[in-house]
Structure 1
Amino acid sequence: MIEMQLHSLRMQLPKRNYRVGYTPETVRIAIERIRSGELSMGTACRMYSIPKSTLRDKINGRTPIESTQGPNPFLNRAEEGRLVEWLKHMAQIGYGRTKHELKLTVKKIVESDGRKTPFSGNMPGRRWLRNFMKRHPDLSVRRPESLGIERATVTKEKISQWFHEYEAFMKEAGIEDAVSDPSRLFNVDETGFPLGVKNERVLAARGARNVYQRTLTTSQQITVVGACNAAGSYIPPLIIFPGLRFGYNALEGAPDHSSFAKSKTGYINSEIFFEYLSNHFLPYVKSLHVYFPIVLFVDGHSAHINIETAEFCVKEKIILYCLPSHSSHLMQPLDVAVYKSLKTSWNKAVREWMTDHYGQYVTKQSFSSVFAVAWEESAKKKYARSGFRKSGLYPFNANAIDPAMLAPSTVFHRTEQPTTATTVSTSMPLQTPQSLPPPSSIPPPSSIPPPSSLPPPSSLPPPSSIPPPSSQSLSPPPSSNQAAASTSSKPPSSSFAANVAALHALESAMGEAIVSNFQRRQMEGCDMSDPMYYTWFKLKSATTIVTPPPSSMGKHSNSYVSPAFDEHLVYPKRAMASENKRVLPHVISGKAYIKMLKEKEEKKKEVEAAKAERKRVREKKKMKNQKKIIT
């Protein structure tokens, strides 16, 4: 009965908070202020809410400053930091690693290093991966966007050269005022809309073995050609349907003033593009009362341009200017801002239409009405202006493109990064046995007079006559195990040897009792009012060798990185791009491009004539052989 009452009383008491009320940074500050003599041990413990035993252990090096509860990870802090750096860089250059590939890489590392792990077959499990992600909240699982090999080779130099040539051309043509007029800068581009959209997550019974979604199995899509200028004005879209015959009104429910075309494949070709420019684009631009000439940015695909288009643009003062090849995801304003929003709105509109028409799917007959909903939501001025701004076309800015989007084009060699080593001491030098002064430089005990022959402390020389600690001995510790190894091979400094000799002479003169008292005062912390203690404290700080605890030495140190990481954390190398490609002129409506098109047409006619001649010779030879057989 009494035990039950005691248990109920304990349950009523407020629960004790076992959460640590300090951080590693506050521990470092407290240790610095104690070692400098600014605070005593008790004052620092009360000020920073650190238990006295904990702070004493960290000062003495029995426990590291940064420690966690539970078992230590089999990869230390520096190794996990190296792994995180590798994962981030691989994702940035287009070679992101999956969860399974990360665990497989860790398995290869521990097996190469010969480490013992609690994992089956040295393969980390889901729990390790979950804890790894918690320890590094700057990592997340993302679904990457597909990036073709051609787009991955677009470099910063290529973009900068294009901007330089564009600016030079506009000045040479005497129309540099168009660069600063947003109403005269246009962009035209086409994109495809599949009739069947991807499935989304649906609500179903928990534990259901199979969940189905009825979808349209065709891969057919409709091409839409859109255009806008940097001021935010849109040209009504051109919708291209696959097929040559229509028994329905293709533009029923389409956006206002839209037009449509038809092709066998449903894709745009040079004839359709010419009709679009002459009968749709130009009349609408003139209705906007825009000053000519205008600049029309295109991607330069061969399907767009023919001689008729180039000559028409010259006549109508339309400067067709090609963007860099394979850079539409970077410099095509419609691709950068407008079409991304349009595709999202399209998927949403299709789902809503299918919800209102159960059992039916979006077809060519109903495409225009569904597309009109998505076009109305996405054809906004802010998206057009954002696209021109992000691509650097208006305002003119050659550095507008995010460098992170050009990372896949960089040379995939690992760059030297500073290692994130944990500093052992903040005010005392980290010395190694090799850096200690040689025995010959320290006076032997026999050369020091006994305490009885020395004068009392009151008659000792003033602290100013004792050489102060050298600033060289107070240099910060190396930041990595490699740096420590390099410094350990250097000869010991003469200043450190002088400080050791001065401290040895001072302690011999003071006697064991005074030295023991000073050591206790150093541990507890005190003020600097005693000049003799101040001198001893400075010499002691300059000659004290602070070493990490035994569990943190060598391969178990938080700053140690196994050589196996260099072996398995590899970076891909980019293949050299071929330089034998023909460089096309940027100005499609210029004389050079028209000349090139005419040469291409003449060469095409020559090839066709040669093909027809070979066919005529074969037919003639065939008829001759048939006559021989008959006779």
Structure 2
Amino acid sequence: MLRGEEMQSNEMVGKYIRKSTRQNWSEADMQEAIRTVENGDMGWLAASKRYGVPQATLRRRAQNRNKRVKGSKKGLGRYERNKIAHRFRVDKKMAGWDWLLGFRARNPDISLRSPEATSAARAQGFNKPQVQKFFDLLEQTVAEHNIGFDRIFNMDESAISTVQRPQKILATKGRKQIGAITSAERGVHTTVVCCMNPIGVYIPPTLIFARKRWKSELIDDAPTGTLGLCQETGWMTGELFYQWIKHFIKFSHTSQTNKTILLLDGHTSHKHLAALLLAKENGIIMLCIPPHCTHRLQPLDVSFFGPLSTFYNQAITKWLKNNPGRTVTAYQVGKLFAEAYERSATMENSVSGFKKTGIHPFNSNIFPDWMFAAASVTDLPEQNEAENVLPVHQLPQTPQPDDTAVILNEEMCNALDSTTRVSVESIIPIPKASTSCKRKNRKRQGTALLTSTPNMEEAKAKAEEKRIVLERRAKRQQVTKNLWVDESNEDEIIDPFFGVEDDDDEDPACIYCNSLYSQSRSGEVWVRCQICRKWTCELCL
């Protein structure tokens, strides 16, 4: 690897010895010679001797017959055509170490950095139109309902485990492998729900344990007021979110006369109809953050969950040292989480999170243009819900620089001489997405008020559709048990509820999940029973 100190050291630059006297003239002399010839003061030969420039080169430059460079600027000239060695690798089309060191010396504002890993979805989602729409909707909602900044809350879920992530330690040089004790190889997942506002007020957290039956001992040593819930997978669901809304109402004292804005992401559990109705009845205005923008727009992600994760790992490590031979289970999670929560739930973290996201103090221009550079590959406009958007994984790729060299073509090499300073974008332009390939029928959920009338009506429609599907599924399962075969005609199946089944049904429904064949995924296998002649998808078997 190349160290920064070595990159800036002149000792790293090789002692290059020119093998030719070509292009040893200066650009200033060439420019004066061209001007003299064009004014008619001297001829080609006299001007070349007077200013010390080659006559043939002066003639080509003055008559603009050089295909590579224009005017008095230098280029590689005939070095490459005559196969004379130069500082650029012709076979690999790559600049050498000497050029890279010289380029960095000529451009001190460019440094070697480790890029932050950004998923394709975040690169596409965090774009300027979406962010501006969020700030406009937030400002409009605050003004319309006359809500103070102390009534703006942000809630989000995060995951903790019974297995900590080992921290860095000091060790002797030369050791090939350094080990650290962890609680187990695979941990038990627990969801943490936190909520805070811009003045350092925290709603007591919620812990969702991955288990079927609840035991009060799980939160004996948890932070005061903690809401304990359980679910088989340990993830947030619509029913659990309804319980959390009641918990939030209790501690925030929200009502129709004391409304609050609740900022949260667009997870499907946050659109549970019962939770939305309860929130609207108690004056909670739920504002959805644009998708894939929570790493910038969600205060909890910006300033709280990072310290919480660090302190929680430290708490587990300390517990393992004080309890040798034991492992962390769900019964220790509450106590360990309380230790980390008390250190991270500070006013400083809360104020910093809302300030860095531009929510309070309100600043819709908090993010500079370079933060949207990752989204500029698609140049996405403001996205409507039914808009077709190109998948990021199908974007054309362009060569990118690594830590050791910059890939250059011949034209770029000619333009980069010892006196020219260029931007990185001129060397490696940002790729542009093609509009020929689009994802069809892709419904996108942007920033919106989840408790508004249109969203509430949509949630009611989805709940009613789900109820009908569940009732239909229950009827089919009951009827399937009563199917019998007519011995006189084994090919005909008599269904006591639906009558004689049509074997030529082009769009059958699965007898277990009730999903239609036309709605199945590409490549999904369907199986037909030889007795009842009913169809089912392979995943339900």
Match of 1:190 among 148, 157, 174: 157
* 118 and 575 in structure 1: CA distance in 2 versus 1, 3 angstrom threshold: closer
Q: Which runs of 5+ in 1 are unaligned?
A: 1-18, 20-59, 63-109, 414-481, 483-552
Equivalent residues in 2 for 1:1-400, closer than 5 Å: 135=105, 138-142=110-114, 144-150=116-122, 152-171=124-143, 174-175=144-145, 177-178=146-147, 181-215=148-182, 216-245=184-213, 249-278=217-246, 280-286=247-253, 292-400=258-366
Q: Could you tell me how far 1:150 is from its partner in structure 2?
A: 4.2
| Higher percent of residues as helix | 1
* 561 and 359 in structure 1: CA distance in 2 versus 1, 3 angstrom threshold: same
| Normalised TM-score (structure 2) | 0.59
* 202 and 330 in structure 1: CA distance in 2 versus 1, 3 angstrom threshold: closer
CA distance in 1, matches of 2:269, 2:122: 18
Q: Which amino acid aligns with 2:156?
A: D
Match of 2:431 among 546, 557, 572: 572
- Which stretch shifts more, 607-616 or 356-365? 607-616
| Normalised TM-score (structure 1) | 0.51
Q: Which amino acid aligns with 1:623?
A: W
Q: Which amino acid aligns with 1:184?
A: R
Q: Which amino acid aligns with 2:250?
A: P
SS of the equivalent of 1:249 reads: helix
Residue 462 of structure 2 corresponds to residue 603 of structure 1: no
CA distance in 2, matches of 1:343, 1:404: 28
* 206 and 159 in structure 1: CA distance in 2 versus 1, 3 angstrom threshold: closer
CA distance in 1, matches of 2:462, 2:415: 67
Q: Could you tell me how far 1:118 is from its partner in structure 2?
A: 10
Q: Which amino acid aligns with 1:202?
A: I
Q: Could you tell me how far 1:584 is from its partner in structure 2?
A: 6.5
Q: Could you tell me how far 1:263 is from its partner in structure 2?
A: 0.6
SS of the equivalent of 2:217 reads: coil
Residue by residue over 1:62-85, the C-alpha shift from the partner in whole angstroms, topping out at 9 and shown as x without a partner, is 9xxxxxxxxxxxxxxxxxxxxxxx
Q: Give the structure with higher Rg (CA).
A: 1
Match of 1:623 among 478, 484, 491: 484
Indicate if the aligned counterparts of 1:322 and 1:586 stay in contact, CA closer than 8 A.
yes
CA distance in 2, matches of 1:284, 1:407: 41
CA distance in 1, matches of 2:471, 2:256: 46
Q: Could you tell me how far 1:257 is from its partner in structure 2?
A: 1.7
* 388 and 128 in structure 1: CA distance in 2 versus 1, 3 angstrom threshold: same
Residue by residue over 1:264-309, the C-alpha shift from the partner in whole angstroms, topping out at 9 and shown as x without a partner, is 001111111111111x2111112x9997011111112111231211
Residue by residue over 1:446-484, the C-alpha shift from the partner in whole angstroms, topping out at 9 and shown as x without a partner, is xxxxxxxxxxxxxxxxxxxxxxxxxxxxxxxxxxxx9xx
Q: Could you tell me how far 1:410 is from its partner in structure 2?
A: 1.0
Q: Could you tell me how far 1:226 is from its partner in structure 2?
A: 0.5
CA distance in 2, matches of 1:189, 1:341: 15
* Corresponding pairs, count: 376
Equivalent residues in 2 for 1:367-516, closer than 5 Å: 367-411=333-377
Indicate if the aligned counterparts of 1:248 and 1:365 stay in contact, CA closer than 8 A.
no
CA distance in 2, matches of 1:626, 1:385: 77
Q: Could you tell me how far 1:140 is from its partner in structure 2?
A: 3.5
SS of the equivalent of 1:241 reads: strand
Indicate if the aligned counterparts of 1:297 and 1:322 stay in contact, CA closer than 8 A.
yes
Q: Which amino acid aligns with 1:588?
A: L
CA distance in 1, matches of 2:366, 2:285: 23
SS of the equivalent of 2:356 reads: helix
SS of the equivalent of 1:250 reads: helix
Partner of 1:461: none
Structure showing greater relative contact order (alpha-carbon pairs closer than 8 Å, 6 or more residues apart) = 1
Indicate if the aligned counterparts of 1:133 and 1:139 stay in contact, CA closer than 8 A.
no
Indicate if the aligned counterparts of 2:256 and 2:283 stay in contact, CA closer than 8 A.
no
